[in-house]
Amino acid sequence: MSSTELGEALRAWRDRVTPEQAGLPTGGRRRAPGLRREELSHLAGISADYIVRLEQGRATNPSSQVIEALARALRLGSGEREHLFRLAGLAVPGPGMVPRHITPGVHRILDRLRDTPVAVYDATWTQLLSNPLHTALIGEWTGPDLNAAWRAFVTSTTRVRHTPESNGALQQALAADLRRTGALYPDDAALTDLIAQLRRRSARFADLWDTGTTAEHQSSRKTIDHPSVGTLTLDCDILHVAGNHLRIMAYTAEPATEDAQRLALLSVLGSQTLSG
Protein backbone atom coordinates (compact mmCIF):
# COMPACT_ATOMS: atom_id res chain seq x y z
CA MET A 1 0.00 0.00 0.00
CA SER A 2 1.18 3.57 -0.66
CA SER A 3 1.97 6.14 2.00
CA THR A 4 -0.74 8.31 0.40
CA GLU A 5 -3.36 5.68 1.21
CA LEU A 6 -2.11 5.53 4.80
CA GLY A 7 -2.36 9.31 5.15
CA GLU A 8 -5.84 9.42 3.67
CA ALA A 9 -7.06 6.70 6.03
CA LEU A 10 -5.57 8.44 9.08
CA ARG A 11 -7.23 11.73 8.15
CA ALA A 12 -10.59 10.04 7.60
CA TRP A 13 -10.45 8.20 10.91
CA ARG A 14 -9.27 11.34 12.72
CA ASP A 15 -12.24 13.29 11.35
CA ARG A 16 -14.58 10.57 12.61
CA VAL A 17 -13.64 10.80 16.33
CA THR A 18 -15.03 13.79 18.23
CA PRO A 19 -13.25 15.39 21.19
CA GLU A 20 -16.22 14.44 23.38
CA GLN A 21 -15.77 10.77 22.49
CA ALA A 22 -12.08 11.01 23.38
CA GLY A 23 -12.78 12.73 26.70
CA LEU A 24 -11.13 15.99 25.60
CA PRO A 25 -12.26 19.61 26.13
CA THR A 26 -14.36 20.99 23.28
CA GLY A 27 -13.87 24.73 23.78
CA GLY A 28 -13.04 27.06 20.90
CA ARG A 29 -14.14 27.18 17.28
CA ARG A 30 -13.36 24.13 15.18
CA ARG A 31 -13.20 23.87 11.40
CA ALA A 32 -14.10 20.17 11.55
CA PRO A 33 -15.90 18.03 14.14
CA GLY A 34 -13.09 15.48 14.47
CA LEU A 35 -9.79 15.43 16.34
CA ARG A 36 -7.10 17.98 15.67
CA ARG A 37 -3.64 16.59 15.03
CA GLU A 38 -2.49 17.97 18.39
CA GLU A 39 -5.30 16.11 20.13
CA LEU A 40 -4.47 12.85 18.37
CA SER A 41 -0.85 13.45 19.34
CA HIS A 42 -1.86 13.71 23.01
CA LEU A 43 -4.05 10.61 22.90
CA ALA A 44 -1.53 8.43 21.07
CA GLY A 45 1.66 9.72 22.70
CA ILE A 46 3.12 10.57 19.27
CA SER A 47 4.43 13.97 18.19
CA ALA A 48 2.05 16.11 16.16
CA ASP A 49 4.82 16.71 13.61
CA TYR A 50 5.15 12.97 13.02
CA ILE A 51 1.38 12.67 12.53
CA VAL A 52 1.58 15.47 9.94
CA ARG A 53 4.35 13.62 8.11
CA LEU A 54 2.36 10.36 8.20
CA GLU A 55 -0.72 12.05 6.80
CA GLN A 56 1.29 13.80 4.08
CA GLY A 57 3.13 10.62 3.11
CA ARG A 58 6.53 11.92 4.20
CA ALA A 59 7.00 9.30 6.96
CA THR A 60 6.99 5.90 5.33
CA ASN A 61 8.16 3.39 7.93
CA PRO A 62 6.10 3.75 11.14
CA SER A 63 6.78 1.17 13.83
CA SER A 64 4.20 -1.33 15.02
CA GLN A 65 4.10 0.52 18.37
CA VAL A 66 3.13 3.77 16.59
CA ILE A 67 0.45 2.03 14.53
CA GLU A 68 -0.98 0.28 17.61
CA ALA A 69 -1.10 3.58 19.50
CA LEU A 70 -2.89 5.27 16.58
CA ALA A 71 -5.39 2.42 16.34
CA ARG A 72 -6.26 2.83 20.05
CA ALA A 73 -6.49 6.62 19.89
CA LEU A 74 -8.67 6.50 16.76
CA ARG A 75 -10.94 3.86 18.29
CA LEU A 76 -10.59 1.50 15.36
CA GLY A 77 -12.43 -1.79 15.20
CA SER A 78 -10.50 -5.03 14.77
CA GLY A 79 -10.86 -5.06 10.98
CA GLU A 80 -9.89 -1.40 10.69
CA ARG A 81 -6.87 -1.96 12.91
CA GLU A 82 -5.70 -4.83 10.71
CA HIS A 83 -6.17 -2.62 7.64
CA LEU A 84 -4.10 0.14 9.28
CA PHE A 85 -1.25 -2.29 9.90
CA ARG A 86 -1.34 -3.40 6.27
CA LEU A 87 -1.44 0.19 5.01
CA ALA A 88 1.71 0.80 7.04
CA GLY A 89 3.38 -2.23 5.46
CA LEU A 90 3.42 -4.16 8.72
CA ALA A 91 2.32 -7.64 9.69
CA VAL A 92 -0.69 -7.79 11.99
CA PRO A 93 0.49 -8.96 15.46
CA GLY A 94 -0.02 -12.70 15.84
CA PRO A 95 -1.31 -14.85 18.74
CA GLY A 96 2.10 -14.95 20.44
CA MET A 97 2.05 -11.16 20.89
CA VAL A 98 0.49 -9.32 23.84
CA PRO A 99 -2.84 -7.79 22.68
CA ARG A 100 -2.73 -4.01 22.97
CA HIS A 101 -5.87 -3.10 21.05
CA ILE A 102 -8.81 -1.54 22.88
CA THR A 103 -12.00 -2.41 20.99
CA PRO A 104 -14.76 0.15 20.33
CA GLY A 105 -16.98 -1.76 22.78
CA VAL A 106 -14.49 -1.31 25.62
CA HIS A 107 -14.17 2.37 24.68
CA ARG A 108 -17.95 2.74 24.94
CA ILE A 109 -17.96 1.11 28.38
CA LEU A 110 -15.29 3.56 29.54
CA ASP A 111 -17.28 6.47 28.09
CA ARG A 112 -20.04 5.61 30.55
CA LEU A 113 -17.63 5.63 33.51
CA ARG A 114 -16.44 9.22 33.29
CA ASP A 115 -17.24 9.83 36.97
CA THR A 116 -15.07 6.84 37.91
CA PRO A 117 -11.25 6.82 37.76
CA VAL A 118 -10.52 4.11 35.16
CA ALA A 119 -7.38 2.93 33.38
CA VAL A 120 -6.78 0.10 30.91
CA TYR A 121 -3.65 -2.05 31.10
CA ASP A 122 -2.35 -4.75 28.82
CA ALA A 123 -1.14 -8.14 30.06
CA THR A 124 2.33 -6.71 30.80
CA TRP A 125 0.77 -4.14 33.14
CA THR A 126 1.55 -1.28 30.76
CA GLN A 127 -1.09 1.43 30.86
CA LEU A 128 -2.79 1.87 27.48
CA LEU A 129 -5.44 4.41 28.43
CA SER A 130 -6.36 6.56 31.41
CA ASN A 131 -9.51 8.66 31.66
CA PRO A 132 -9.22 12.25 32.94
CA LEU A 133 -10.40 11.41 36.47
CA HIS A 134 -7.88 8.57 36.78
CA THR A 135 -5.13 10.97 35.67
CA ALA A 136 -6.33 13.53 38.21
CA LEU A 137 -6.31 10.91 40.97
CA ILE A 138 -3.11 9.03 40.24
CA GLY A 139 -1.11 11.47 38.14
CA GLU A 140 0.11 11.26 34.55
CA TRP A 141 2.83 8.75 33.69
CA THR A 142 5.05 8.71 30.65
CA GLY A 143 7.76 6.47 29.22
CA PRO A 144 8.76 3.42 31.28
CA ASP A 145 6.62 4.61 34.21
CA LEU A 146 3.53 3.63 32.21
CA ASN A 147 4.37 0.09 33.31
CA ALA A 148 3.21 -0.82 36.84
CA ALA A 149 6.04 -3.31 37.40
CA TRP A 150 8.62 -0.71 36.39
CA ARG A 151 7.17 1.71 38.91
CA ALA A 152 7.03 -0.94 41.62
CA PHE A 153 10.60 -2.21 41.18
CA VAL A 154 12.60 0.64 39.66
CA THR A 155 11.24 4.17 40.11
CA SER A 156 8.73 3.87 43.00
CA THR A 157 6.60 6.54 41.32
CA THR A 158 3.17 6.41 42.97
CA ARG A 159 0.66 8.32 45.07
CA VAL A 160 -0.53 5.05 46.62
CA ARG A 161 0.53 4.72 50.25
CA HIS A 162 2.51 1.56 51.00
CA THR A 163 3.96 -0.15 54.03
CA PRO A 164 7.02 -2.37 53.52
CA GLU A 165 4.67 -5.36 53.76
CA SER A 166 2.14 -4.08 51.22
CA ASN A 167 4.88 -3.00 48.83
CA GLY A 168 6.47 -6.45 49.08
CA ALA A 169 3.14 -8.12 48.40
CA LEU A 170 2.57 -5.89 45.37
CA GLN A 171 6.00 -6.75 44.00
CA GLN A 172 5.37 -10.47 44.48
CA ALA A 173 2.03 -10.24 42.70
CA LEU A 174 3.40 -8.27 39.75
CA ALA A 175 6.41 -10.53 39.25
CA ALA A 176 4.22 -13.66 39.36
CA ASP A 177 1.71 -12.07 36.99
CA LEU A 178 4.45 -11.12 34.51
CA ARG A 179 5.82 -14.66 34.57
CA ARG A 180 2.34 -15.95 33.73
CA THR A 181 2.09 -13.41 30.89
CA GLY A 182 5.51 -14.46 29.60
CA ALA A 183 4.28 -18.03 29.24
CA LEU A 184 1.14 -16.88 27.42
CA TYR A 185 2.96 -14.59 24.97
CA PRO A 186 6.44 -16.01 24.33
CA ASP A 187 6.91 -14.16 21.01
CA ASP A 188 6.40 -10.64 22.32
CA ALA A 189 9.68 -8.73 22.00
CA ALA A 190 8.54 -5.80 24.16
CA LEU A 191 7.64 -8.18 27.00
CA THR A 192 10.96 -10.01 26.69
CA ASP A 193 12.82 -6.69 26.81
CA LEU A 194 10.79 -5.49 29.83
CA ILE A 195 11.61 -8.64 31.79
CA ALA A 196 15.31 -8.41 30.89
CA GLN A 197 15.46 -4.76 31.98
CA LEU A 198 13.64 -5.48 35.24
CA ARG A 199 16.03 -8.33 36.02
CA ARG A 200 18.97 -6.06 35.28
CA ARG A 201 17.71 -3.04 37.23
CA SER A 202 16.13 -4.78 40.25
CA ALA A 203 17.70 -7.57 42.30
CA ARG A 204 14.34 -7.95 44.05
CA PHE A 205 12.58 -8.64 40.74
CA ALA A 206 15.30 -11.07 39.67
CA ASP A 207 14.94 -13.02 42.91
CA LEU A 208 11.14 -13.18 42.60
CA TRP A 209 11.35 -14.15 38.93
CA ASP A 210 13.73 -17.00 39.69
CA THR A 211 11.22 -18.56 42.11
CA GLY A 212 9.11 -19.54 39.09
CA THR A 213 5.87 -18.53 40.80
CA THR A 214 2.93 -17.59 38.55
CA ALA A 215 -0.24 -15.83 39.65
CA GLU A 216 -2.77 -13.21 38.60
CA HIS A 217 -2.77 -9.77 40.20
CA GLN A 218 -5.95 -9.26 42.22
CA SER A 219 -8.22 -6.40 43.26
CA SER A 220 -7.39 -4.55 46.47
CA ARG A 221 -8.14 -1.54 48.66
CA LYS A 222 -5.76 1.41 48.29
CA THR A 223 -5.00 4.59 50.20
CA ILE A 224 -3.95 7.46 47.95
CA ASP A 225 -2.24 10.61 49.16
CA HIS A 226 -3.44 13.27 46.76
CA PRO A 227 -1.60 16.62 46.76
CA SER A 228 -4.77 18.72 46.51
CA VAL A 229 -7.81 16.87 47.93
CA GLY A 230 -5.98 14.91 50.63
CA THR A 231 -6.09 11.24 51.51
CA LEU A 232 -8.60 8.89 49.88
CA THR A 233 -9.11 5.20 50.64
CA LEU A 234 -10.74 3.52 47.66
CA ASP A 235 -11.60 0.07 46.35
CA CYS A 236 -9.41 -0.78 43.37
CA ASP A 237 -11.12 -3.44 41.27
CA ILE A 238 -9.56 -5.15 38.26
CA LEU A 239 -11.91 -6.31 35.52
CA HIS A 240 -10.69 -8.58 32.74
CA VAL A 241 -11.63 -8.39 29.07
CA ALA A 242 -12.16 -11.93 27.83
CA GLY A 243 -9.93 -13.12 25.03
CA ASN A 244 -7.15 -10.55 25.15
CA HIS A 245 -6.07 -10.24 28.80
CA LEU A 246 -6.71 -6.50 28.98
CA ARG A 247 -7.25 -5.30 32.54
CA ILE A 248 -9.65 -2.47 33.38
CA MET A 249 -8.70 -0.90 36.72
CA ALA A 250 -11.46 1.12 38.40
CA TYR A 251 -11.39 3.07 41.67
CA THR A 252 -14.59 3.58 43.68
CA ALA A 253 -15.46 5.00 47.10
CA GLU A 254 -17.99 3.77 49.62
CA PRO A 255 -21.11 5.99 49.36
CA ALA A 256 -21.71 8.76 51.90
CA THR A 257 -18.11 8.81 53.12
CA GLU A 258 -15.43 11.49 53.22
CA ASP A 259 -13.59 9.49 50.55
CA ALA A 260 -16.63 9.76 48.26
CA GLN A 261 -16.81 13.52 48.88
CA ARG A 262 -13.15 13.99 48.04
CA LEU A 263 -13.46 11.90 44.90
CA ALA A 264 -16.47 13.98 43.84
CA LEU A 265 -14.47 17.16 44.45
CA LEU A 266 -11.67 15.81 42.30
CA SER A 267 -14.16 15.04 39.55
CA VAL A 268 -15.34 18.66 39.57
CA LEU A 269 -11.86 20.18 39.64
CA GLY A 270 -10.53 17.88 36.95
CA SER A 271 -7.12 16.81 35.80
CA GLN A 272 -6.08 20.12 34.27
CA THR A 273 -5.81 21.83 37.65
CA LEU A 274 -4.83 18.81 39.70
CA SER A 275 -2.40 16.85 37.55
CA GLY A 276 0.72 17.80 39.51
Confidence of residue 28 (pLDDT cuts 50, 70, 90): low
The whole-model pTM stands at 0.85
CA nearest to 13, candidates 95, 93, 74, 89 = 74
Q: Containing H/E element for 223?
A: strand 220-226
Instruction: Give the model's pLDDT for residue 75.
Output: 93
The string of pLDDT tens digits covering residues 34-92 is 999 999 998 998 999 999 999 998 888 899 999 999 999 999 999 999 999 999 999 99
The string of pLDDT tens digits covering residues 249-268 is 999 999 999 999 999 999 98
CA nearest to 49, candidates 64, 59, 34 = 59
Once rounded to an integer, what is the mean pLDDT over residues 1-7? 76
**Could you report how far apart the first and last alpha carbons of the chain are, in Å?**
43
Domain spans in the chain, listed from the N-terminal domain onward: 3-87, 104-273
CA nearest to 160, candidates 80, 78, 105, 234 = 234
Instruction: Give the model's pLDDT for residue 274.
Output: 38
Options 1.10.260.40, 1.20.120.80, 1.20.120.450, 3.40.50.300; CATH for 3-87 is: 1.10.260.40
Is domain 104-273 in CATH 3.30.565.10, yes or no?
no
Position 25 pLDDT exceeds 80: no
Query: What is the length of the chain?
Result: 276
Output the average pLDDT for the chain: 90
Distance CA 243, CA 102 (A): 12
The string of pLDDT tens digits covering residues 196-221 is 999 999 999 999 999 988 887 777 89
How is 109-155 classified by DSSP, letter by letter? HHHTTTTS-EEEE-TT-BEEEE-HHHHHHH----GGGGBHHHIIIII
As a whole-number percent, the residues of the chain with pLDDT over 90 amount to: 74
Q: Do the first three CATH levels of 3-87 and 104-273 match, i.e. the same topology?
A: no
CA nearest to 123, candidates 145, 142, 97 = 97
Instruction: Give the model's pLDDT for residue 32.
Output: 74
The string of pLDDT tens digits covering residues 87-125 is 999 999 888 899 999 988 899 999 899 899 999 999 999
Confidence of residue 8 (pLDDT cuts 50, 70, 90): very high
Distance CA 71, CA 106 (A): 14
State CA 264 to chain mean position distance.
23
Q: What are phi and psi of 229, to 5 degrees?
A: -105, -5
